[in-house]
Amino acid sequence: MRLLVVEDDKDLNRQLVAAFTDAGYAVDAAFDGEEGHFLGDTEPYDAIVLDIGLPKMDGISVLEEWRREGRTAPVLILTARDRWSDKVQGIDAGADDYVAKPFHIEEVLARIRALVRRSAGHASNEVECGPVRLDARAGRVTVDGNPIKLTSHEYRLLAYLMMHQGRTISRTELIEHLYDQDFDRDSNTIEVFVGRLRKKLPADIIQTVRGLGYCIEPPGHAD
């Protein structure tokens, strides 16, 4: 899962990026509205954290532009606690949720988890595929109730496939959603991580759809 943080306060931006990275997300950061608008317009994100009071281009204008351009990524706006009008304006502009400053990082994490899972059509933090269960809140994966150890990249790949289970995901889409902008992207690395995951998961959970990508389904479900 890949996120964008658009916040001009450098310390807060770094705190958010560090928290999201520790939670297993790939994260890009922007420090003004113009940079944020460009990234959100050209890169595919699973969710975006957007401050309203930004230099160069305010957050409301950024959000309105994204929505006019057909960008549908869920957006969590950051507002000043005493500016209820910002909250209303943000929701009307196309925001999916908001958090008032000052806030606890844990609340932002929880709201982003909710936006990501809802946009993928899931009501719960726990997603199951046969004997495999992924708990997005705890960042934990179990097979038949037994926890398995995954690297951050393995977890990110499995989480994306499970959130979109039943759908064939191309290598290009996986690369775009699993790695931040600065990562040296190579489609071969996806094959490496899939190979590692297959050794840790039940056989045939991750299917290769020749020429198209990968699909995750419960054993015995694939045609």
pLDDT of residue 119: 82
Q: What pLDDT does 17 receive?
A: 96
Residue 186: per-residue pLDDT: 63
Q: Which domains does the chain have, with CATH numbers?
A: 2-119 (3.40.50.2300), 126-216 (1.10.10.10)
Could you read off the pLDDT of 136-186 as tens digits, one per residue?
A: 888 899 999 999 999 888 998 999 999 888 889 998 888 888 877 766 666
Binning pLDDT at 50, 70 and 90, where does residue 96 land?
very high
Structure tokens at 146: 């037994």
Residue 223 pLDDT exceeds 60: no
Query: Does residue 75 register a pLDDT over 70?
Result: yes
Tell me the average pLDDT of the chain: 89
Are 32 and 8 in contact by the 8 Å Cβ rule? The answer is yes
Prediction pTM value: 0.77
More confident residue, 137 or 65: 65
Place of tokens 């709201």: 111
Closest residue by Cα to residue 20 from 76, 65, 73: 76
Arithmetic mean of pLDDT, 80-85 = 74
Work out the pLDDT band at 85, boundaries 50, 70, 90: confident
Q: Which of 26-35, 52-61, 80-89 has the lowest mean pLDDT?
A: 80-89
Alpha-carbon span 212 to 1, nearest angstrom: 20
User: How confident is the model at residue 20, as a pLDDT?
Assistant: 94
What's the pLDDT at 104? Answer: 93
**pLDDT (0 to 100) of residue 8:** 96
Under the banding of pLDDT at 50, 70 and 90, the label for residue 130 is: confident
- DSSP structure class, residue 164: T
Q: Do residues 156 and 24 touch, judged by C-beta distance below 8 A? A: yes
